Structure 1
Amino acid sequence: MSDESASTGAAASPYTPGPPPRAPRYWLGWLGVGCAWLLARLPWPLQRWLGRRVGDVLRICLRERRFVAARNLALCFPERDAAAQAALLRDSFAELGIGLFEFARAWWGDVTPMRRELRVEGLEHLDAARADGRGVIIVSGHFTTLEIAARLMCDHAPLAGMYRPHDQGVMEWAVKRGRLRYAAAMFTREELRPALKHLKQGGLLWFAPDQDTRRGESVFVPFFGLPAYSLTSTHQLARLSGAAVLAFAHERRDDGGYTLRLSPAFTDFPSKDARTDTARVMAAIEAMVRHVPAQYLWIHRRFKRQPDGRGALYRKDRPPPGE
């Protein structure tokens, strides 16, 4: 919720963006949103070309993020030599640049070009999971295709989303308003009760539980063979709501099209053990990453917490395991 919404007493809602912040201190933020709104209207082939160039610039300028991505790739793909890892690093930033334009187009632009070469697989699994009126939790990972894939899937299923609010009031309002153009609702991480109510009423809830975050119950489970501090949210939500859980993979194909793929519902889920269930979810996300490794968001410090200490794997004076 923006500062202005709080000051006017307007209640935040998962179904509406609320009033926009208008005070002078927000004007610079509105200028940035306006620029992004204009960029969202560029022709799609030009956006793809510009996205790759933006990715090159980000790779050169964001030295710390480049280091984090390179370290993650070394940790997750030790079998690849230095040249292969460097090529994957370049590709990942190019995909990130394209993803930035996809985000803007998903929120504020026209996605007709993306629909032309779209492949959607596994909708029958979603229908089967919903057949008895159950809600469905749809889990994915933080891929650069995250936002455009959610928007495209909303053409076929009324997804709601769970997300971390933006700290900047204008961006929070603009992005939530953009998402509510196609999503059934947008729940913050703190809006657990309305999210559970949505699931108990047979709704669909999409979210990505694959980042190390300070909020929420987490456990260490394997991810690319390393301990990864992972949210148990999928287990908790399924246990409290009775919802089924499906994995949602998405990719940006070399021919310019997109593939969205829903897997069959997890069997015997949730179990009595949150760690076991979380490990199953992370294994499903790892399989998605291995399929399209360049499209994963490698700039996040996925392994910053370890059982023997915090941040050690990202110390610049410490080589990754195997070196």
Structure 2
Amino acid sequence: MADFIARLLHGLAALLTRLPWPWLLRLGDALAAVMLRRNLREARVARRNLELIHPELLPAQREELQQRIVRTTARQAIETLRLWTRPHEENLALIREHHGIELFDAAIAAGRGVIVAAPHYGNWELLNQWLASHTPLAILYAPPESAIGDAFLRRVRADDAHAQRVTQVRAEGPGVRQLFKLLKDGGVVGVLPDQQPKRGDGEFAPFFGVPALTMTLLGRLAHRTGAAVVFAYCERIDGGRDGRPAFALHIQPAPAAVADADPVVAVTALNEGLERIARRDPAQYQWTYKRYTLRPSGSGYDNPYREIR
């Protein structure tokens, strides 16, 4: 039943995204206006995150940034539906600039394995499609709690010839062991490094000055396999006259300390690199995510999103 509903949802999304790009982006803007006017969950989480990371801003400044974040979030959702339901070759034409591909190719050629740390910045689904077009890889993902949501993600991420080069690995014990083997064999692994792990699977390190529980898995993978670690993201840039969105692909070396044997040193370096990317354009980062739910033991701080459902 889950697979049937996932196919139905995919068909409906495909129908919606046949609309021209300018119409779809206006639809995203209308969705953002509803989120803000009705003070929906995404708007409230964004506002709370801004209160945590930018206490120095005036209320009007935080409100302006919140509006930009919510607008980008809504456009991201519409963009992603389009990317999931159109041929990947068509989608990749939206990438107008490429930076750092030679670094990526050199890391693959070295044969020590490559870990692609892909933060929730810009459009990470477009990045996945570019990676799949460039090299076989495995992507670590946390499956949704809903069986329908999981079936939908597996379907949309495997609905193209390039996507057949992608192995989707669940963030569970057997999947993690699979990643170690792939890297030792010189493979490429994609990880979303800024998702909050379960307590016990991470260490706290500052992220925009606030302690954030951060995954130690990426550092362990890098330390034990000797794999190269790169940051990669597709950043929105000014589009053309045709109303289509446009993106710049960036691949950058991660700090060497992300592979440190000390997990606290490793996650601190990881968060420093992620923060530099997020600061390029804060509206393109996923601030609608509850990044700081878990707090350090004995800190005296409570879950800052307790009242946001």
Q: TM-score, normalised by structure 2?
A: 0.85
> Which of 186, 190, 196 is matched with 1:206 structurally?
190
> Which of 212, 233, 241 is matched with 1:228 structurally?
212
Partner SS for 2:279: helix
Residue equivalent to 1:10: none
The alpha-carbon distance between structure 1 residues 179 and 30, as it changes in their structure 2 partners (threshold 3 A), is: closer
> Which of 70, 73, 84 is matched with 1:107 structurally?
84
Residue equivalent to 1:149: 127
> Which of 169, 173, 189 is matched with 2:171 structurally?
189
Residue equivalent to 2:224: 240
Any unmatched runs of 5+ in structure 2?
A: 240-244
Q: In 2, distance between residues paired with 1:37 and 1:167?
A: 24
User: Residue 126 in 1 paired to residue 108 in 2?
Assistant: no
Residue equivalent to 1:319: none
User: Residue 77 in 1 paired to residue 77 in 2?
Assistant: no
> Which of 255, 270, 282 is matched with 2:259 structurally?
270
Amino acid of the structure 1 residue aligned with 2:143: P
Q: Is the 8 A contact 1:216 1:233 kept in 2?
A: no
Q: Is the 8 A contact 1:253 1:259 kept in 2?
A: yes
Q: In 1, distance between residues paired with 2:7 and 2:155?
A: 14
Q: In 2, distance between residues paired with 1:202 and 1:146?
A: 23
Q: Is the 8 A contact 1:96 1:144 kept in 2?
A: no
Partner SS for 1:280: helix
Residue equivalent to 2:242: none
Residue equivalent to 1:15: none
Q: Is the 8 A contact 1:39 1:101 kept in 2?
A: no
Residue equivalent to 2:304: 313
Q: What whole-Å deviation, never above 9, does each CA across 1:286-323 have from its counterpart, x for those lacking one?
A: 1111001001111222112222256443356xxxxxxx
The alpha-carbon distance between structure 1 residues 264 and 30, as it changes in their structure 2 partners (threshold 3 A), is: closer
User: Residue 292 in 1 paired to residue 281 in 2?
Assistant: yes
The alpha-carbon distance between structure 1 residues 133 and 34, as it changes in their structure 2 partners (threshold 3 A), is: same
**Percent identical residues:** 31
Q: In 2, distance between residues paired with 1:240 and 1:300?
A: 30
User: Residue 170 in 1 paired to residue 176 in 2?
Assistant: no
Q: In 1, distance between residues paired with 2:254 and 2:288?
A: 30
Amino acid of the structure 1 residue aligned with 2:108: R
Instruction: Report the alpha carbon displacement of residue 149 of structure 1 after superposing the two structures with TM.
Output: 2.4
The alpha-carbon distance between structure 1 residues 265 and 158, as it changes in their structure 2 partners (threshold 3 A), is: farther
The 10-residue stretch of structure 1 (217-226 or 246-255) with the greater mean CA deviation from structure 2: 246-255
Partner SS for 1:205: strand
Any unmatched runs of 5+ in structure 1?
A: 5-19, 317-323
The alpha-carbon distance between structure 1 residues 215 and 314, as it changes in their structure 2 partners (threshold 3 A), is: closer
The alpha-carbon distance between structure 1 residues 246 and 226, as it changes in their structure 2 partners (threshold 3 A), is: same
Q: In 2, distance between residues paired with 1:189 and 1:40?
A: 30
Q: Is the 8 A contact 2:69 2:283 kept in 1?
A: yes
Instruction: Report the alpha carbon displacement of residue 211 of structure 1 after superposing the two structures with TM.
Output: 2.3
Q: In 2, distance between residues paired with 1:141 and 1:117?
A: 18
Q: Is the 8 A contact 2:122 2:236 kept in 1?
A: no
Q: Is the 8 A contact 2:10 2:85 kept in 1?
A: no
Partner SS for 1:118: strand
The alpha-carbon distance between structure 1 residues 212 and 200, as it changes in their structure 2 partners (threshold 3 A), is: same
The alpha-carbon distance between structure 1 residues 60 and 196, as it changes in their structure 2 partners (threshold 3 A), is: farther
Residue equivalent to 1:97: 74
Q: In 1, distance between residues paired with 2:74 and 2:41?
A: 17
Partner SS for 1:88: helix
The alpha-carbon distance between structure 1 residues 165 and 268, as it changes in their structure 2 partners (threshold 3 A), is: closer
Residue equivalent to 1:13: none
The 10-residue stretch of structure 1 (115-124 or 264-273) with the greater mean CA deviation from structure 2: 264-273
Q: What whole-Å deviation, never above 9, does each CA across 1:77-125 have from its counterpart, x for those lacking one?
A: 2333222211111111111111112222222223526515521110111
Amino acid of the structure 1 residue aligned with 2:278: V
Q: Is the 8 A contact 2:42 2:70 kept in 1?
A: no
